[in-house]
Structure 1
Amino acid sequence: MKQLFIGLGCLLIVSATAQTPTPPPSQLTVEKIMQDPKSWIGTSPSGIFWAEDSKTIYFNWNPVQAKGDSLYKIVLSGDRKPVKVSPAERQKLSPATGGSYNRAHTLKLYEKDGDLFLLDTKPGKTGSFTVRQLTNTVERESNPVFSGDEQRVVFVRANNLFTLSLANGELTQVTNLDSGTKKVTPKTNDQEAWLKRDQLALFDVLKERKAKKDEGEKITKTDQPKRPKQFYTDGRTVQNPQLSPDGRFVTFSLLKSAQGAKTAIVPSYVTESGFTEDLTARTKVGAPFSSSEFYVYDIQRDTIQAVSTKTIPGITDSPDYAKTAPVPASVPDGTIKRGPSAGEITADTTRKVTKPANRAVTISGPIWSEDGKNAVVTIRSFDNKDRWIMLLDPATRQLKLLDRQRDEAWVSGFGPQSGTSGFLADHQTFYFLSEADGYSHVYTVNVATGEKKQLTKGKFEVQQIQLSKDKNYFYLTTNEVHPGEQHFYRMAVTGGERTKLTTMTGANDVTLSPDETQLAVRYSYSNKPWELVLMNRRAAPNEPLTMNTGKKKAIVSTTPVQLTQSLTPEFQAYPWRDPAIVTIPARDGQTIYGRLFKPAKPNGKAVLFVHGAGYLQNAHKWWSQYFREYMFHNLLADKGYTVLDVDYRASAGYGRDWRTGIYRHMGGKDLTDNIDAVQWLVKEHGVDAKRIGLYGGSYGGFITLMAMFTTPEVFAAGAALRPVTDWAAYNHGYTANILNEPYTDTLAYRRSSPIYFANGLKGHLLICHGMVDVNVHYQDVVRLTQRLIELRKENWEVASYPLEDHGFVEPTSWMDEYKRILKLFEERL
């Protein structure tokens, strides 16, 4: 019966194949490119990490097209074939990320499933690692680190700090932070006080009993062991409690939730229950935000006090826009006055300037030097105009400025809180990333003298930084070869020449082995998805790498070796294009980078793709996260379309000025960059100016709307996917950086929101949106729909997807969406 079942299965497959012929390799269809990628393309390796002995690489992979990825390993001393890790072995492994080491890197602490473990990083005679479970409790333990003397484990349980002796297992509670409110005993009034004194004066028995009771309480209090000071948080949330290396100080933050912040609701219509169900989403930009205070618990003095932010340099500085920002008139869509540039709005009133107060800030850290003598904190203003790096004296709670980065737009995300900083071996030199000169670069500052040095410089970005174990070198990921390439370098901590360790053109996402001699590289190129590649590290350019084999040192090749093969034969059968990286002059003299898909037989039509996320890069030489769009662009090029996607203003990878080019005006330079790209296509590639369309999702959908509404003469058709239609309806963390707040900078929101310009629509518009989108809410499209109806526009349509969030999941949804996009371009261009 088993053989018969398999045979019938084969017959069914043959029959189905005969009924639906597979298109030849040169013919792409929307159905083909939008099917489940794991069965049609293959699944690339991800989540790469090393065994502690640097002899085995682990990674998530799915070469058998299972429902989900599994953990695989490659043992470098064997045949180097990927092997699926058994559940028993997987259970014994430490997590791929997290954990902390002792200074010698011989022991590692980590948390797994809410319990703590200690790993000996040197394997035993059998090749296995010794793991000691330290806790086994119902309550969750987390964030384990070694104490300054490395004799105890410091960890968090129920928002309090504890220590566990590695020698005898003694458990000690360090903090007693109570989420409740301290009960206050009512004060005795004059009448009650007088009666009590009178009673004790009248009755000797009462007086003797009270004296005996007071003496007993005094003795009991003296005999009791010392407990941590009880501190009531009044409902505030404890964040990041840390014990200083010398065990004297505890630092922590208390977060008070915003009061009155209304949360948006996203209705879900197609549900298992058959009833409409509400999904809790997020607040909207400008909603009241949480407040944070930073505290120091001095165990020796038994005091808990907040760190004052009043002395932070520039704490009262107002942003420039608040001094001069005009407020536009409140008028309906069709009558807003237009200025000289797209989306410009004239104003009729001026903001009233008030005396600035201390700005709200959040304090992160501290990062301690290994000798426990220096602690550095990072402070960010809630308006994100400032980032301060300051030395904290925990005994006095005083702050000393080491570095201030101010940006009238918004400070970038690089900083000590993102794992890009720390102390060097001298315990006084602190390193960090900063955009002080316009690009993300490596800096150091001496916390004693204040001397600051810039270690890297140039029109490129240092995107990742890692300190070597011996603290003599930095490992850096930069894009200095080309904005569209990422390579891995080594550089002395004093700066100077950088040694380029990777050689392959494209993106090299490196995971360094624990012994720092090998690179596990997740590598891809423009038309080649990610694969796992192994490289041996050179110490310097052209220097052979040697490894001690016992008897003598052997020369080891540094040639990259591919360890995985993830692609299906069907996917590899098509000759995927290697799009040309082009440069386009912008109207203000800047250079726009783009990716050009050139057809063999141009039909005069062109499509512009606008990437999403705003701060993202897509004109690069590696496999795009927009892989479905990349395949769609190949399909369009097969049909004769010229396709271009550009890294418009605010895209990642090009420095501070490019990043902040949209400050207070989305739909300004980011849109004109796309318009300039269209004009370049017409001039340089013979595209018909009357047959150009564009499309994009999320931020790309927003740009599509702005283009169709404010530059209708440029685009004949556009597809806006999950677009933002009104920035006042988006989230705070992203939007407030760029446009400030809607009630403090109305002008920025009015000239940046498509809904105010819908009257300008002339070409044909397709809008696609998931109805359970908890990022850009479906409400955005509903509101825009009502505006278009009231404006009596007829050249538009909306496609709704009841079961899709912001990022579509179902292949049928992808197919439906892109069939509509293709139909739009085929019919309207």
Structure 2
Amino acid sequence: MKRLLVVFFLLSSAAVFAQQLGPLTVDKIMRDPKWMGVAPTNIQWDENSKTIYFNWNPQKMENDGLFQISTLKKNPEKVGDDIRRNLERGTLTYSRDRSKILFERNGDIVVKNILNGLETALVTTVEREANAAFSKDESKVIFQRGDNLYSVGIDKGNFIQLSNFTRTRSRPAAPVTKQDEWLRKDQLNEFDIIKKKDADRNNAEKKSKEDAVKRPKEFYLDERSTVNSIRISPDERYIVFRVSKNPEGNKNIIVPNYVTASGYTEDINGRTKVGNTLPTFESYVYDITRDSIYLISTKEIPGIKDLPDYVKDYPEQLAERTKKNEDRKVSISGPFWNSDGSNAVVTVTSLDNKDRWIMKLDPGSGRLSLLDRQRDEAWIGGPGINSFNGGSLGWIDNNTFYFQSEASGYSHLYTVNVNTNLKKQLTAGKFEVQTLRLSNDKKSFYFTGNIEHPGITHLYRIPVAGGEPVKITSMRGGNEVSISPDEKWLAIRYSYANKPWELFLQENKPGAKAEQITNSLSEEFKSYPWKDPELVSFKNRFGSDVYARIYKPQKADPSKPAVLFVHGAGYLQNVHYWWSQYFREYMFNNLLSDMGYTVIDVDYTGSSGYGRDHRTGIYRHMGGKDLSDHVDAVKLLVEKYGVNPANVGLYGGSYGGFITLMGLFTEPEVFKSGAGLRSVTDWAHYNHGYTSNILNEPYTDEKSYKKSSPIYFAEGLKGNLLMAHGMVDVNVNFQDIVRLSQRLIELKKDNWELAVYPVEDHAFTEPSSWTDEYKRILKLFETTLKTK
């Protein structure tokens, strides 16, 4: 018995020891992330406001499972595939009394009675139906199939086609010559039988027209045109739609894929490059009563001919564009109809993204009148503002429209009376309204914002007339809130800087306690004391506040080295009190700190969460203020944290890789070593939507591209450079790093290396690739920064 107890003790000790992470290594932290535990995702309320569904994987299975809890029974239970299939229904639309929901499942339109749970499939076809909505009196459902709009009765009767977008033109009749017309008249005069047949045919055609079902007016779409944003007015008189026409002659990038099942190199069709010709957009109104289609006029939009300020740097271009005096190209989103259809609002965005207009639409004439204009000489953006579908906006009542704007320097909530044009700002301060929702009774707004600190988000409520926001959540960190349909409960995905996301449940009341539902973390992950980085702010050389988080080593290496991690995307926030999406880099920064490095992570100029000026501070010069913020951060490390300025490195991916290259090429006395991962090396080779906002276009603003692209500064490399890139990267193409490599070869630089990853796209997926990449980064820093 004693021997059995000893054996049991040894086995138990081994099991406990196996759960201990121990000293961090690259191999450990770059494993399949399931080793950490799998956080809950895809939070979804059932329409009864009693059940929450979410994806989760506590057993670390190959795929996440679907789990449920209720507001009464809070222990997660795994549910079967039948429930999963029933939940696959896209966006829910509620009836006014919230007794029914409308949704799309597997391409079919379904209405469900919430009280008895009965579902009725209104349309069941092999084609896909989408964008379903109740009609004004809720006796019908209006939906889109293919290019066209249809309606069907709730009782599945009275199926009607409302629009007639077609790609087949009716063939015109052959022209009739004067000779043919003379012969026809002569035949009618000579033969009674022909007169009789002609009269019978005319009578039959007349009766056929009288008996025929009236069809919607035809609108022809050619092979380069697509129709979208098809919206019908509540009274079903007007259909407003947008037609986009793709340009001819644009070239797409080809990405070769070398490791394939066929054994042959296969081509992946990619995107275009910045500056390629854009699609053009026109919006129309179809007046069903008048059976007439007409264009929405944009010529009278205030400032439609305004040129951006940057063209003043190009006198010839300015003279030419001034002489042409052309209207700028725009895209119209909407309309957004009020409940009774008496008012319609659209948003108009200039394709150069310098202007966003909110305008009232007169559907009877197609004319627009101004409600609000936001002009930005950099580019329009910010939370809830810039969206192909308009952003966060809608109606409070039949006369009051709400929207978000950066007019104050931060994205805030505004209302406008569409009859008097009276505007009102509802929120104000040095914070951003990041998500927005109007309450069911339309008396309050719910919004998430970073009022307390740029790196803390909470849910707030504010009356639609304005007032002091009331904070509802209380946990310090990141709160991703899903409000129940009846607005009585909050499902909160919460995390802290060193604690990944978990699901919490809370009553929708200020001060109510949030109850933790899931416990996702593995014992192995919990066994390590993950650092809670110190969040600091400092003034950059321009006097602006820059936020950073610092990992201080318990025992600094004698060489006092430091590493800067540079987050990607540019417009992204990584200095905050919630769990970082860069969780691998977070763990790697812990490893570096354990090894004696001081690590800093900066929300440099261009990052999100800090308002308009910070967002657009990189306009026309990427590698300007965003890079100098990192140089200023090094100064902070030296002066306050005792870092040796001779032993500073940096690393990052995508935009972070770009900054790494610019740092080594243009600030070689500051940065001794760097690892640039999936880096942009020449902005003229990146995509249009992102790059043109910041640098305009290469052929219109060449100066911006020349001073923003690392390839033009490669001769400045003095330190130690590691570059890593996936060969099937369809975002920042492998061609980028190949071109820079050739440039370095021609410059006869020998202090760089390139690591390639044949099966990886922009975001690596294979643990072996992550491990190889970060072992190389660690080796770079260990061999070059730990010198006295």
Aligned-partner Cα distance in 1 for 2:348–2:369: 12
Counterpart residue number, 1:137: 125
Q: Is the 8 A contact 2:20 2:523 kept in 1?
A: no
Q: Is the 8 A contact 1:99 1:144 kept in 2?
A: no
- Cα deviation, residue 263, structure 1: 0.4
Q: What amino acid maps onto 1:64 in structure 2?
A: Q
Matches within 5 A, 1:350-429: 353-355=321-323, 356-412=325-381, 414-415=384-385, 417=389, 419-424=391-396, 426-429=397-400
Equivalent position to 2:542, from 577, 585, 588: 588
Aligned to 2:586: 630
CA distance in 1, matches of 2:137, 2:369: 27
Partner of 2:137: 149
CA 1:435–1:573: 2 relative to 1, 3 Å: same
Contact 1:439–1:656 (Cα < 8 Å) also in 2: yes
CA deviations 1:149-189 (Å, max 9, x no partner) are 11000001121111111135221111111023343334334
Structure 2 residue aligned with 1:87: 81
8 Å contact kept, 1:444–1:453: yes
RMSD: 1.8
Question: What corresponds to 2:531 in structure 1?
Answer: 577
Residue in 2 aligned with 1:284?
Answer: 273
Structure 1 counterpart of 2:160, one-letter code: T
Task: Decide whether the 8 Å contact of 1:386 with 1:404 is kept in 2.
Answer: yes
Q: What does residue range 494-643 of structure 1 map to in structure 2 within 5 Å? A: 494-538=465-509, 558-603=512-557, 604-643=560-599
Aligned in 2, Cα 1:374/1:385: closer, same or farther, shift over 3 Å?
same
Equivalent positions of 1:671-686 (< 5 A) are 671-686=627-642
For residue 356 of structure 2, what is the amino acid of its counterpart? Answer: R
State the distance in 2 between where 1:50 and 1:357 align: 50
Q: Which moved more, 1:566-575 or 1:366-375?
A: 366-375
1:237 to 209, 226, 243: 226
Q: Aligned match of 2:411 in 429, 434, 440?
A: 440
Residue 799 of structure 1, aligned match among 734, 738, 755: 755
Equivalents in 2 of 1:41, 1:418: separation in Å?
39
In 1, Cα distance between the equivalents of 2:192 and 2:714?
90
Displacement after TM superposition at 1:140 (Å):
1.0
Give 1:393 shift: 1.2
Match of 1:103 among 93, 96, 100: 96
Q: Which one of the candidate residues 780, 800, 823 is aligned to 2:736?
A: 780
Whole-Å separation in 1 of the counterparts to 2:720 and 2:536: 29
The equivalent residue for 1:548 is none
- Residue 116 of structure 1 corresponds to 109
Of 161-170 and 745-754, deviating more is 161-170
Please tell me the residue identity of whatever aligns with 1:590: S
Contact 1:696 1:721 in 2 (8 A): yes
SS at match of 1:155: strand
Question: How many equivalent pairs are there?
Answer: 765
Query: After the TM superposition, which of the residue ranges 705-714 and 132-141 deviates more from structure 2?
Result: 132-141
Instruction: Give the distance between the partners of 1:352 and 1:609, measured in 2 at CA.
Output: 45
8 Å CA contact retained: 1:245, 1:372: yes
Q: Identity over the aligned pairs, expressed in percent? A: 56
Distance across 2 between alignment mates of 1:134 and 1:173: 15
Counterpart in the other structure of 1:5: none
**CA distance, structure 1, for counterparts of residue 19 and residue 522 of structure 2:** 15
Identify if the C-alpha distance between structure 1 residues 280 and 193 changes in structure 2 by more than 3 Å, giving closer, same or farther: same
In structure 2, distance between residues paired with 1:352 and 1:582: 49
Matches within 5 A, 1:40-189: 40-78=35-73, 80-93=74-87, 95=89, 97-122=90-115, 124=116, 129-189=117-177
Aligned partner of residue 487 in structure 1, secondary structure: strand
Secondary structure of the 1:486 match is: strand
Aligned match of 2:698: 742
Deviation at 1:789, TM superposition (A): 0.5
8 Å CA contact 1:155, 1:161 repeated in 2: yes
The residue aligned with 2:5 is none
Shift of 1:26: 4.1
The residue that corresponds to 1:266 in the other structure is 255
SS of corresponding position for 2:712? helix
Instruction: Give 3-state SS (helix, strand or coil) of 1:118's partner.
Output: strand
Write the distance in 2 (CA, Å) between the matches of 1:254 and 1:562: 48
Structure 1: which amino acid aligns with 2:96?
Answer: R
Q: Alpha-carbon deviation of 1:194? A: 4.1
Contact 1:322-1:351 at 8 Å conserved across structures: no
Seen in structure 2, the aligned counterparts of structure 1 residues 736 and 696 have a Cα distance that, compared at 3 Å, is same
Question: 34, 37, 45: which is aligned to 2:33?
Answer: 37
Letter in 2 for 1:170: N
Q: 2:252 touches 2:270 (CA, 8 Å); kept in 1?
A: yes
Specify the code of the residue in structure 2 equivalent to 1:566. Answer: S
Q: TM-score, length-normalised on structure 2?
A: 0.95
Q: Deviations over 1:341-400 (max 9, x none)?
A: xxxxxxxx9985543311111111111111111111111011000111111111111111
Using the size of structure 1 for normalisation, the TM-score is 0.90
- CA contact under 8 A between 1:612 and 1:699: conserved in structure 2? yes
Which one of the candidate residues 771, 775, 786 is aligned to 1:815?
771
Partner of residue 225, structure 1: 213
Q: Which moved more, 1:98-107 or 1:446-455?
A: 98-107
Question: How far has the Cα of 1:781 moved from its partner?
Answer: 0.5
Q: Name structure 1 gaps, 5 residues minimum.
A: 1-13, 328-348, 543-557
The residue identity in structure 2 corresponding to 1:156 is Q
What is the CA distance between 1:190 and its match in structure 2?
3.9
Match of residue 487 from structure 1: 458
Q: Against the structure 1 CA distance between its residues 326 and 576, is the aligned structure 2 distance closer, same or farther, given a 3 Å change threshold?
A: farther
Deviating more after overlay: 63-72 vs 463-472: 63-72
Which of 237, 244, 262 does residue 255 from structure 1 map onto? 244
* Deviation at residue 325 of structure 1 after TM alignment: 3.7
Q: Which moved more, 1:349-358 or 1:304-313?
A: 349-358
Equivalent residue for 2:727? 771
Alpha-carbon offset, residue 144 of structure 1: 0.7
